[in-house]
Amino acid sequence: MRRLAGTRALVTGASSGIGAAGAELLAREGADVALLARSRKGLDIVAARVRAADARAVVTEADVADRAALDAAVERAARELGGLDVVIVGAAAGTFGRFGETPPEDFDRCMAVTFGGAVNTIRAVLPHLHRSAGRLIVIGSAADAIALTLMSPYVAAKHALHGFTESLRAELQAADSPVSLSVIRPGPVDTPFWTHLTHPEGLVPPELPPLSAYSADTVARAVVACAIEPRNTVTVGGSIALVELANAVARPVVERALALLARLGRARASTEEVPNGLWEPSGDGTVEGGLGGRPSALAALRLRGSRPDGGGP
C-alpha cells in the first residue's frame, strides 16, 4: 500500500543528499513531489527517479536565501500540484575552519541559507499547509545541542533553527493550527554536504571515520515516516543520544574533548576541484558522500510501523 497516495509534497535541498533520498521515498509511497534547489542538473536527475516511481515531479529552481525567488518557486509548486500537503525543509550549506579564519561573508551566507532559508521556506508554505491541514518537516541537526568544532556558522544556524521551530510549534498549538511540525535531528550524515563545505583555499576537511556517519537513506526514512505519521522530534543516531547524555551530566568533560578535537582538527591538502556548496549550485543527484554511512537502530525502533519500504534499515 502506498501510504502517501494523493499527497502533494515539496522538498527543498532536493538536488542531493537527504533531500534527494527523501524525494524518491515520498514518490515510492505515492506522493507527487515538487523539487526545489539551486542546481538544475541535480533536480532533473532526482525528478527522473521520482517519475520512475510512478509519481509526478515538478522542478523549481531557487536559492532559499533569495526570498522573492523562493516565494515564486513555492507558488509555482503549489499551483502545479494543486496545493501542498507535506513540506520538507532541508536546504543547508556550511563552512569548515576556525571562526577567526572564516571570512565574514562566508559566515553570513551560511546563516542566510541554513537558518534564513528555512525561515523563508516556512513563511512561504504555511498558508498552503494551513489550507490542507498539512505536515511541515524540518531537517535540523544534533549540532543544535552539541558544540561541534570548526563549523561555528553551521552550528549557530542549527541552534537558531532549533529555537525558531520550538517557538513556532508553541504558536501553532496556541492557535489550534491543523499544521503538524516535525523536526528531524540527525548526527553526522554521509552526504555530499561534507565534501562541498567552503574551506581554506587548497584544503579540504579531514575525512570522517566511516562509523561516525549515518546514511542519508536512514535519515530520509525518518523524514518520510513523519510525513506518514507526524512526531514532534526524532533524533537519528544512538551515538548522538549518548553524546547528549554525556553533555548533560558531564559537560566539562565533553567541552574538553571538543576542544581537543579542535586542536587536532586539520584540513588536508587537495588538488581536486570540488563544488563550493556555500556559493555555487553543487547538487548532482548524488545521495551518499562515500563515507560508509550506516543505519540507525534508534530511529528504526522509534519509527517502526511508519517507516517507508517496510521499515528496513
pLDDT in tens, 121-180: 999 999 999 999 999 999 999 888 776 778 899 999 999 999 999 999 999 999 999 999
The mean pLDDT value for 278-298 works out to: 77
CB 146 within 8 A of CB 247: yes
CATH code at position 48: 3.40.50.720
pLDDT of residue 196: 75
* Residues pairing with 265 in the sheet: none
Among the listed ranges 83-97, 160-174, 234-248, 285-299, which one has the minimum average pLDDT value? 234-248
Is a pLDDT exceeding 80 seen at residue 267?
no
Residues 6+ apart with CB under 8 A from 128: 74, 78, 83, 84, 87, 134
Q: How far apart are CA 90 and CA 302, in angstroms?
A: 21
In a domain, 1, yes or no: no
CB 199 within 8 A of CB 205: yes
Model confidence over 190-215: pLDDT tens digits?
A: 888 877 777 666 555 655 544 467 88
Q: Supply the DSSP symbol for 224.
A: H
Is a pLDDT exceeding 50 seen at residue 231?
yes
Which of 188 and 202 is assigned the larger pLDDT?
Answer: 188
CB 21 within 8 A of CB 216: yes
The mean pLDDT value for 11-32 works out to: 97
Contacts 24+ apart (CB under 8 A), 122-129: 122/87, 122/89, 122/168, 124/70, 124/71, 124/74, 124/75, 125/10, 125/74, 125/84, 125/87, 126/179, 128/74, 128/78, 128/83, 128/84, 128/87, 129/84, 129/85, 129/87, 129/179
The mean pLDDT value for 88-112 works out to: 92
Q: How far apart are CA 12 and CA 20, in angstroms?
A: 9
pLDDT of residue 137: 98
Cell numbers of 191, please? 552526504
pLDDT of residue 280: 87
Cell numbers of 151, please? 563549523
Q: How far apart are CA 143 and CA 237, in angstroms?
A: 12
pLDDT of residue 243: 59
CB 228 within 8 A of CB 180: no
Query: Catalytic one among 154, 193, 194, 214?
Result: 154
In a domain, 2, yes or no: no
Q: Is the overall model pTM greater than 0.85, yes or no?
A: yes
The mean pLDDT value for 219-224 works out to: 94
In a domain, 211, yes or no: yes
Our answer to whether residue 154 is catalytic in this structure is: yes
Domain count, the chain: 1
CB 114 within 8 A of CB 93: yes
Is a pLDDT exceeding 80 seen at residue 40?
yes
pLDDT of residue 202: 52
In a domain, 233, yes or no: yes
Q: How far apart are CA 198 and CA 8, in angstroms?
A: 34
pLDDT of residue 150: 80
Is a pLDDT exceeding 50 seen at residue 309?
yes
Is a pLDDT exceeding 60 seen at residue 261?
no
Domain span at residue 126?
Answer: 8-308
In a domain, 313, yes or no: no
The mean pLDDT value for 246-272 works out to: 54
> Residue 50 burial (CB < 10 Å; 0-12/13-18/19+)?
buried
Is a pLDDT exceeding 70 seen at residue 247?
no
